[in-house]
Structure 1
Amino acid sequence: MTRHRRHLLALALGAASVIALSACATPPATPAAADAPPGHSLGSLSPAPPEGEVIAQATVMDVDGTVELCLGAVAESYPPQCSGVPIANWSWDGVDGSETSGKATWGTYAVQGTYDGEKFTVTKPPIMLALYDPMPFPDPTGGKAGAGDDATLTGIQDELPGILGDGYLASSPENGWLLVDVVWDDGTWQDAANADYGTGVVAIRSALHPVGEQVGPSGQSSTGAAPGNRT
């Protein structure tokens, strides 16, 4: 082999080595979340059902054997009316504090059980809310004023029911925040709201709380950080 050919071969091998090393040194690109263009995370992401048991303070409404856990608004009619999460195994046996009118029986209780994303399964006898002494739930705002103005918060409020669907319960602007009540959130929707609207604007409040959830010294939950501070 001539000196010229050996030189060309060495150059080719060197170039191949540089390319190979570059490929090894460059981390793989992180795939973008499916169906989540910028500003639309809430329309594409949903929280997974809770792994353990949860507790809720709510009205239990039984209309002709169809029982629901009403976590949102309850109409002040007689009997009251609401739309809630189906309860799979409710029994009124041994449960005090209920009222009945026609085919409807209802009462307000602290109810503990499991939630699979569609239905609630009771695991312990319910406690009448009048006798229930709950732990304080965490303040999702951390006691600080939010960064939203009235026009921004109203605009977000108008679009959230369509975005969150059946998971949405209610919302209200307060102290620079849009406080949004949902059936369940494990932090997924809070993170998505931070991504879509910026931190310090939307505070997601879950109606279902993991059993044993506690408030830390800073007002944050032991199971999750305040809006905008999740890691």
Structure 2
Amino acid sequence: MNAIRRWHRLLPAAALFALAACGQGTDSGGAGDGSGIATADEDTVYQGSITVLQDPARDGAGLCAVVAESYPPQCEGLPVTGWDWDAVPHEEANGVRWGVYIVTGTFDGKAFTLTEEALSIEEVDMADYPHLQYTEPEFGDPAEDLSAAELEAIADELADRFPALVFGGYADEEHGAAVVDTLLVSPELEAYAAEHYPEDTVVFSAGLKPIGQQG
């Protein structure tokens, strides 16, 4: 029961809740320069439904892009600044605390900082958050015809360069694009893809959506 059996991609909030917090998100760590930092526009506010988890090995809670199907769950999470377990309902086992929440905040390249109180998925009606419902990626008209191997290489490279944000991807041969699963799309990540790959050959599927600017 404690063994990791498999990993899941990011799912909509309802699916996360149904999996008892076995949701989706990202590995902690770096950026395009290999420094472990993914720079970002700190004014952009992101929102999404996601598993938040803290285990005894961590000083704080983290957003889980990918969660191990184990009990208690396990994940490598992007640090969350301003998290208070006493302020939210959560589960706890063997020193691990977790739950599925709607989180709202900014990303500074190192951590996600809450700008609003987190809301337990049990306490909200997701119909009130239509912008957070899962939608299929929107494809364009790729500027070049790339092979499946080339598209997979793009997804792999982005995961290597932005491990704090990108946690998976695959080649969509029908649309000629690499679909890249990401916690959120930072300005740096978006700019890197636009600069290094043919137009419309990269499509992001993000768990946290931009909803506005701070201030």
Q: What TM bracket, shorter-length normalisation?
A: 0.5 to 0.7
CA displacement, residues 95-152 of structure 1 (integer Å, 9 cap, x when unaligned): 23x2111101100111112322212222322222343422336969534465543121
Matched, 1:86 2:86: no
Query: 1:50 aligned to 25, 42, 65, which one?
Result: 42
Change in CA separation of 1:201 and 1:162 when aligned onto 2, cut-off 3 Å: same
Runs of 4+ in 1 over 4 A off after TM superposition: 42-47, 137-141, 143-147
Residue aligning to 2:204: 204
Residue aligning to 2:160: 162
Residue aligning to 1:110: 102
CA distance in 1, matches of 2:87, 2:61: 18
Give, as a single letter, the amino acid of the residue that structure 2 aligns with 1:194: A
CA distance in 1, matches of 2:158, 2:185: 15
Query: 2:68 aligned to 44, 50, 75, which one?
Result: 75
CA distance in 2, matches of 1:141, 1:125: 29
Change in CA separation of 1:141 and 1:59 when aligned onto 2, cut-off 3 Å: closer
Is contact 2:40–2:107 with CA below 8 Å preserved after alignment? no
Is contact 2:155–2:169 with CA below 8 Å preserved after alignment? yes
Q: Which has the higher helix share?
A: 1
Greater shift after overlay, 106-115 or 204-213? 204-213
Residue aligning to 1:37: none
CA distance in 2, matches of 1:163, 1:176: 22
Please give the root-mean-square deviation of Cα atoms over the aligned residues, in Å: 3.1
CA displacement, residues 22-64 of structure 1 (integer Å, 9 cap, x when unaligned): xxxxxxxxxxxxxxxxxxxx94696523314322321110223
CA distance in 2, matches of 1:91, 1:107: 12
Residue aligning to 2:130: 135
Q: What TM-score does the superposition give when structure 2 sets the normalisation length?
A: 0.65
Give, as a single letter, the amino acid of the residue that structure 2 aligns with 1:112: T
When Rg is computed on C-alpha atoms for both structures, the one with the higher figure is: 1
Percent identity, aligned pairs only? Answer: 27
Greater shift after overlay, 42-51 or 147-156? 42-51
CA distance in 1, matches of 2:40, 2:136: 20
- In structure 2, runs of 5+ residues without a counterpart are 1-30
